[in-house]
Amino acid sequence: MKKTLLAAAAAVALAPGLAAATNGYFQQGYGLKSKGRGGAGTAMATDAYGGANNPASMAFVGDRIDFGADLFSPRRSASRFGSSPFLGPIDGSADSDSNYFLVPEFGYNRMINPNLSLGVSVYANGGMNTDFPGGQIPAASACAGFNPTPGPYNLLCGNGRLGVDLMQLIIAPTVAYKVAPNHSIGISPLIGFQRFAIDGAQAFAGFSTSPTNLSNRGHENAYGFGVRIGWFGQLTNALSAGAAYSTKVYMREFDNYKGLFAEQGDFDMPENYNVGIAVKATPQLTVIADYQRINYSGIASVGNPSSFLLQCAAGNVGFCLGGNSGAGFGWRDVNVWKLGFEYQYSNVLTLRAGYDHTDNPIRPQDVTINILAPGVVQDHVTLGFTYKTGTGGELTVAYMHAFNNSVTGPSFFNNFTGGLPAGTETIKMYQDAIGVAYGWNF
C-alpha cells in the first residue's frame, strides 16, 4: 500500500501539466490497453483501471500493478473572417501554442480473498488547454467598443494571450465483490482534483457578475467527491458484459473565477455512464464494443448556452457570467460509440486496434466562447500491443489519432454591431497520442 500511495502522489505531482480532450473533454479511454482498442473496456478485466472504467472488473483482475503515461498532442486553431471594414475589422486567426502534454495513469489491485478485491485507480478524467497568442486584431478596431483597455487585441477582443488551462484528476479507491462465480459488483468513491486558469477574456467584463474574478486570476485548485458503481459478468466462455455509472463529482467552487462560471464559480465533473460487451469471436480474436453517455448539459457552467449573455445585456443579471443561471459554453450531452479488436498473436504478443466516434458537443451558435475550448473532434482510430517480458511483466504501447474536425458559426459579436457584420468564426482541432505502460500480476 505504501507503493500505491507513492505512485498516486507522483501522478498528482505530474497532473498540472496535463490536458486530455477527446470525447468532449473526457479521455478517449482509460488505461493503455483500453486506449489501444478504441477506448472500449467496460466488459474487460485486463488491468487495474476499473476505478475509471468499471469498478466491478477488479474482482477478476487478480493482484496487479499498472502504471504508464500518454504523450498527448492536440492541435487547435481559430479564425474569424468577414467583419465589415466600416466596423473596424476584427478579422484574425491563430494557432494554439501548447501542443504537448503528459497524461499519467496508475492502478493497483489486491485480492483480499478469492471473492473480494481492494484497489485504486489514478487517472486524468479529462481537461482542456488552449494558448493562443494575442495581437491579431489592431487597436483601431471594433474591439475597442468591448474593451476599454487599448489594443492590440486577441481573438476575443481581450488583451494579451488568450486561453484556458483546465486539468481534472481522479483518485478512485475501489472495492469489488464476486456475488457469484461469474458475476461481480464494485464501487469506487471518486476523489476529484481540478486546476483552472483563464487569460485574455477581459472584453467580457461587462457581462460578468464579478468582473474582477473573470480572467487573469492565475491558477486555482478545487477538490470534490462523487462515486462510480459497476457490474461485470462472464456470461459464457465467449461472452462478457459490463455496466458502470458515475454521479457528478461535486467540486468546490472556483472563488477566483466566480465571475466566469455559472452559480458563482461552480464547475462540477459531469455525470456519465457506460455499457459494454466483449465477444471471443475465435480463440485468438476478441471483439469489444462500448457505449458511453456524458451529460455535459447537467453542469450549468458547461451546458448553459452562450446566448444567455443577451439576456444579461438586457439587464437580467442572473444570466450573466457567474450568475445563478449564468451563460456557459453551450455544450450538449454526447453519445460515444467504441469498437475494439484484441488479437492474441502468440503467447507473448497481443495486438489491438479500435475506433471511437463521439457526438460534437459544440453547436455553431456557441463557437465564439468555444474558441477557448474547441472540443470538436469526433472520430478516433487506435492501434496498440502488449508484449509479455521474460520476467512476467507486460509492456503495453498504444497510439491514437483523432481526425481534424471543425465547427463554423456567426460571431457572437454580430449582436452588438448595429447591423454591420462582425464575421464568421471557425474552430478546428486534430490530435495524436502515443503512450507506454508497464504492468504485472504478483
Q: What's the pLDDT score for residue 36?
A: 98
pTM above 0.85, yes or no: yes
Q: Which pLDDT tens digit goes with each residue over 330-362?
A: 999 999 999 999 999 999 999 999 999 999 999
Q: Which pLDDT tens digit goes with each residue over 293-316?
A: 999 999 999 999 999 999 999 999
**Residue 424: what residue type?**
T
Q: Per-residue confidence at 98, pLDDT binned at 50, 70, 90?
A: confident
- Cα gap 185→108, rounded to integer Å: 18
HSE-CB of 115 using CA atoms within 13 angstroms: 9
pLDDT at 78 over 60: yes
Residue by residue, what is the 3-state secondary structure of 283-324? CCEEEEEEEEEECHHHCHHHHCCCCHHHHHHCCCHHHCECCC
φ, ψ dihedrals at 296, nearest 5°: -60, -35
**Residue 27: what residue type?**
Q
Eight-state DSSP code of residue 91: -
Q: Which pLDDT tens digit goes with each residue over 103-125?
A: 999 999 999 999 999 999 999 98
**Residue-range domains of the chain with CATH:** 2-441 (2.40.160.60)
